[in-house]
Chains A and B, each alone.
Chain A
Amino acid sequence: MVRILVIAGKDLQLLLRDPLGLFFILAFPAIMGIIFGAITGSSQTDQAILEIAVIDEDQSRLSTRFTSALVETGSIRIWNRDATLENERQASLDRVRRGRLTAVVILPRGFGETAGMPWASPVPIEVAIDPSRTAERGMLQGLLVEAAGSLVTARLEDPASRRALFASGRREIERNQKLPTVTRGLLVRLLDLLEREIEGELERASSSNPTAPSKSTFPVDLELARIEFVPIDRQGDRGLGANWHDKVRSRWDLSFPQGMLWGVLSCSAGFAISLVREQEQGTFLRLQVAPLSRFQILAGKAAACFVTVLFVILAMVLLGYALGMRPISPLLLALAAFSIAWSFVGIMLAMSVTGRTAESVNGAAWGSGVLMAMFGGGMVPLVFMPNFMQTLSLFSPVRWAVEALEGAIWRNYSVVEMLRPCGVLMGIGAIGFSVGILVLKRRTG
């Protein structure tokens, strides 16, 4: 055991004397974590904003109101607010084509005539969106519907528009010969009642608050649906106290598991190369002659890699903690870290015997690392991948490592839930160990 620790100590000492290696093992994952965190940008204080152009060809009160409603959502910035209409359409479309804007929204002539009338056939809003921004497409659609909904309120606020709205409603009902006469009569009476009720409410509201602007006097809140996002990841720790609960949930919770994995991959590749480098420089031969078993030599190298992986994860956790990350379960995080370390040490041993030169092992280790990261969600989140790639990700240790870390940091996994990713990782590690030892045994006689 002492000899194993001495070999591990020597390898750590060699690592400390290699500034480039240290950078890739310690600084690189931190940079990746921070970059991913910035990209993820999912904290409550930094909402993603779509920058679009709006071409208002209608120039009506309701089209102006629609544009304002879009801005009021807080998710849209209009690039051409103060621009003139001349050439604006082509200039905006060019910007979308060049990727400078997400989309152009065109409000055609006649938009204001039917906008906000639930029973009128609306003039279509034209949207030209950057084809590569598929993720934002649904979001923009929702924001446009939300802004269109506000036009119903706008139409009811203005007495002339309101009267025109109800008059057109009555005309539509009376014109529709398919409806039975009784039904038509009932619907017209219902509209009369609704109009009277709304006018009564408006009068009462303005008499109780005569100084308030007309916009806010409308008493009816026409919400089509109310959506509230609840923190599913925190349901289990409500009892931990408001203080704890208020601090948690930053973008770093999401990004640091990926960053940690890059550090682990660097570590694994670095130690895989170190084994073959020892063979190249002859020190492995010297170790073979020493009174050591092959197992002791490999165990020493594995122990150094194991300690370094744990250190990388710990350093990343501490950095994440300083930035605002709050792991739910430190114990489960420790379990995840141990499983990941075991797994990637096994992978390191298997990688180290893939080639006979440091260059070939370096290529194999980094190539397979990038593939594992790509398929395992270390580069692009799994949800953005097609189904077949999500299935393939089951074979990537990175996928299970990310799941184990997320389970401990913010998914609030139970011990039983953690067993699956951790078990898979341990299994991968055991296979890697076996492959490494068997190949090395065969190669060195």
Chain B
Amino acid sequence: MIRVDGLHKRFGQTVAVDDVSLQIETGETFGLLGPNGAGKSTTLQLMMGILTPDRGSVTFAEDRNPRELTTRHNLGFAPQQLSLYETLTGWENLRFFSRMYGLCGQQQQRQMNWALEMTGLLDRAQDPVKTYSGGMKRRLNLALAVVHDPPLILLDEPTVGVDPQSRHHLFENIEQLQEKGRTIVYTTHYMDAAQRLCDRIAIIDQGRVLALDTVDALVAKYAGRSQISVDLDETPVPRTVLPERLAVEQCGRSLQWETETPLAELELLSAAGISVRSVEITRPNLETVFLNLTGRKLRD
């Protein structure tokens, strides 16, 4: 659906996007995961043709250029910054932007109702946007991006700064769009959002794509093994009692080790008759992937 080849963009001395190449398939939810300032939004704006790359190219299906009006008809975009007319009502905002995409008459009404219903704003549609809560504004921001029902939706940090309830609502909205088969490009610095929603993820930092794959593959490749931490009932346990194949470190009543098969190894412990008071398994995730790739945490 979208092919990005060797995209490069510099603002003065700062390289915002450095040789980024991606391919996003139809119906896929593709995540751009990285900390603030990593170059995610710039990449998105280059993909939409709002910014002109210094080098590289972006091609949509049927070899279309992102600046072509036909391509833009098929795009929906929810910017990171709330892009709403605060003195207009939610309904007026939707009516205006849906007209910009050529919707009118019955079809426009139907689409507006659908977008408002999906985002749970139907009962507040006639209120001025300035009276909305932060979460409602985020939902309206999403509704404006999808009101014309585009096949490709680009969401730039769509859940930033919202309460958990609204965040959950937004995730559900995005999952509904996934069910409709829409292609979604999703930028975020929230690991859980990427892990929950994205089929494939590009981890991006300082303008460069560090890794690109499915969540499981990234974890398997870059995150290492699960960590098990066990608190025993009795102490100390003689080393001879512990199963041989476990590379365990013992410290008082506590046992710790790394493994790729945590459940199987806990069963071995049980079979050896060792009484366990509590178990903690830390599975590797995208946070670990990012930490291992950059030496920094995602929020740093």
Residues of A within 8 A of B (CB): 2-3, 6-7, 10, 13-14, 17-18, 281-283, 285-293, 444-445
What separation, in Å, do the CA atoms of A2 and B70 have in the docked complex?
A: 17
- CB-CB contacts of B89-109 with A at 8 A, as 1s and 0s? 000100011011110000000
Of B52, B69, B86, B92, the residue contacting A445 (CB under 8 A) is: B52
Cβ-based interface call for B121 (8 A): no
Cβ-based interface call for B144 (8 A): yes
**Does the CB pair B84–A13 fall under 8 Å?**
no
Q: How far is the CB of B185 from chain A (nearest CB, A)?
A: 13
**Does the CB pair B97–A286 fall under 8 Å?**
yes
Of A6, A285, A286, A444, the residue contacting B99 (CB under 8 A) is: A6
**Does the CB pair B100–A13 fall under 8 Å?**
no
What separation, in Å, do the CA atoms of A109 and B83 have in the docked complex?
A: 83
**Does the CB pair B50–A444 fall under 8 Å?**
yes
Given contacts A6-B99, A290-B97, A291-B73, contact A283 B84 (CB under 8 A): yes
What separation, in Å, do the CA atoms of A292 and B92 have in the docked complex?
A: 19
Stretch of B74-82, B163-171, B194-202, B241-249 contacting A (4+ beta carbons < 8 Å): B74-82
Chain A residues with CB under 8 A of B82 = 281-282
**Does the CB pair B88–A17 fall under 8 Å?**
yes
**Does the CB pair A289–B50 fall under 8 Å?**
yes
Cβ-based interface call for B51 (8 A): yes
Of A2, A14, A282, A289, the residue contacting B87 (CB under 8 A) is: A14
Q: Of all chain B residues, which has the CB nearest A285?
A: B79
Cβ-based interface call for B3 (8 A): no
**Does the CB pair A283–B85 fall under 8 Å?**
yes
What separation, in Å, do the CA atoms of A445 and B50 have in the docked complex?
A: 7
Chain B residues with CB under 8 A of A281 = 81-84, 86
Cβ-based interface call for B72 (8 A): yes
Cβ-based interface call for B48 (8 A): yes
- CB-CB contacts of B34-57 with A at 8 A, as 1s and 0s? 000000000000001011100000
Additional 6 contacts, C-beta under 8 A, given A7-B100, A283-B85, A289-B72:
A10-B85, A290-B100, A291-B69, A291-B102, A444-B50, A445-B52
**Does the CB pair A290–B79 fall under 8 Å?**
no
Q: Of all chain B residues, which has the CB nearest A444?
A: B50
Chain B residues with CB under 8 A of A6 = 96, 99-100
**Does the CB pair A13–B92 fall under 8 Å?**
yes
Chain A residues with CB under 8 A of B128 = 17
**Does the CB pair B100–A3 fall under 8 Å?**
yes
Among the interface residues A281, A286, A288, A445, which one has the most CB atoms of the partner chain B within 10 A? A286
What separation, in Å, do the CA atoms of A90 and B190 have in the docked complex?
A: 85
Chain A residues with CB under 8 A of B86 = 281
What separation, in Å, do the CA atoms of A17 and B101 have in the docked complex?
A: 24
**Does the CB pair B101–A286 fall under 8 Å?**
no
What separation, in Å, do the CA atoms of A31 and B101 have in the docked complex?
A: 42
Chain A residues with CB under 8 A of B102 = 291
What separation, in Å, do the CA atoms of A6 and B94 have in the docked complex?
A: 13
Chain B residues with CB under 8 A of A14 = 85, 87-88
**Does the CB pair A286–B75 fall under 8 Å?**
no
Chain B residues with CB under 8 A of A444 = 50
What separation, in Å, do the CA atoms of A290 and B241 have in the docked complex?
A: 69
What separation, in Å, do the CA atoms of A291 and B69 have in the docked complex?
A: 5
Q: How far is the CB of B299 from chain A (nearest CB, A)?
A: 24
Chain B residues with CB under 8 A of A289 = 48, 50, 72, 75, 77
Q: Of all chain B residues, which has the CB nearest A283?
A: B83
Q: How far is the CB of B95 from chain A (nearest CB, A)?
A: 9
What separation, in Å, do the CA atoms of A282 and B102 have in the docked complex?
A: 21
Chain A residues with CB under 8 A of B99 = 2-3, 6
What separation, in Å, do the CA atoms of A13 and B99 have in the docked complex?
A: 15
What separation, in Å, do the CA atoms of A415 and B279 have in the docked complex?
A: 95
**Does the CB pair B88–A286 fall under 8 Å?**
no
What separation, in Å, do the CA atoms of A405 and B50 have in the docked complex?
A: 43
Q: How far is the CB of B139 from chain A (nearest CB, A)?
A: 16
**Does the CB pair A285–B85 fall under 8 Å?**
no
**Does the CB pair A285–B83 fall under 8 Å?**
yes
Q: Of all chain A residues, which has the CB nearest B83?
A: A282
Chain A residues with CB under 8 A of B100 = 3, 6-7, 287, 290-292
What separation, in Å, do the CA atoms of A445 and B70 have in the docked complex?
A: 20
What separation, in Å, do the CA atoms of A113 and B79 have in the docked complex?
A: 93
Q: 13 interchain pairs (CB within 8 A)? A: A6-B100, A10-B88, A10-B96, A13-B92, A14-B85, A282-B81, A282-B82, A285-B79, A289-B50, A289-B75, A290-B97, A445-B51, A445-B52
**Does the CB pair A286–B72 fall under 8 Å?**
no
Q: How far is the CB of B91 from chain A (nearest CB, A)?
A: 12
Chain B residues with CB under 8 A of A7 = 100
What separation, in Å, do the CA atoms of A291 and B101 have in the docked complex?
A: 6
Q: How far is the CB of B162 from chain A (nearest CB, A)?
A: 16
What separation, in Å, do the CA atoms of A282 and B50 have in the docked complex?
A: 13
Chain A residues with CB under 8 A of B72 = 289-292
Q: Of all chain B residues, which has the CB nearest A18?
A: B87
Given contacts A289-B48, A444-B50, contact A13 B88 (CB under 8 A): yes
Chain B residues with CB under 8 A of A287 = 100
Among the interface residues B52, B73, B81, which one has the most CB atoms of the partner chain A within 10 A? B81
Chain B residues with CB under 8 A of A2 = 99
Chain B residues with CB under 8 A of A3 = 99-100
Q: Of all chain A residues, which has the CB nearest B66?
A: A289
Chain A residues with CB under 8 A of B85 = 10, 14, 283
Chain A residues with CB under 8 A of B92 = 13
Q: Of all chain A residues, which has the CB nearest B52?
A: A445
Chain A residues with CB under 8 A of B79 = 282, 285-286
Q: How far is the CB of A277 from chain B (nearest CB, A)?
A: 10
Q: How far is the CB of A397 from chain B (nearest CB, A)?
A: 30
Chain A residues with CB under 8 A of B50 = 285, 288-289, 444-445
What separation, in Å, do the CA atoms of A215 and B106 have in the docked complex?
A: 91
What separation, in Å, do the CA atoms of A444 and B49 have in the docked complex?
A: 10
What separation, in Å, do the CA atoms of A18 and B82 have in the docked complex?
A: 20
Q: Of all chain A residues, which has the CB nearest B51?
A: A445
What separation, in Å, do the CA atoms of A376 and B191 have in the docked complex?
A: 61
Chain A residues with CB under 8 A of B83 = 281-283, 285-286
Q: How far is the CB of B157 from chain A (nearest CB, A)?
A: 12
Q: Of all chain B residues, which has the CB nearest A15?
A: B87
Among the interface residues A10, A13, A289, A445, which one has the most CB atoms of the partner chain B within 10 A? A289
Chain A residues with CB under 8 A of B144 = 286
Given contacts A17-B87, A18-B87, A281-B81, contact A290 B101 (CB under 8 A): yes
What separation, in Å, do the CA atoms of A255 and B16 have in the docked complex?
A: 56
Q: Of all chain A residues, which has the CB nearest B99?
A: A6
Q: Of all chain A residues, which has the CB nearest B128?
A: A17
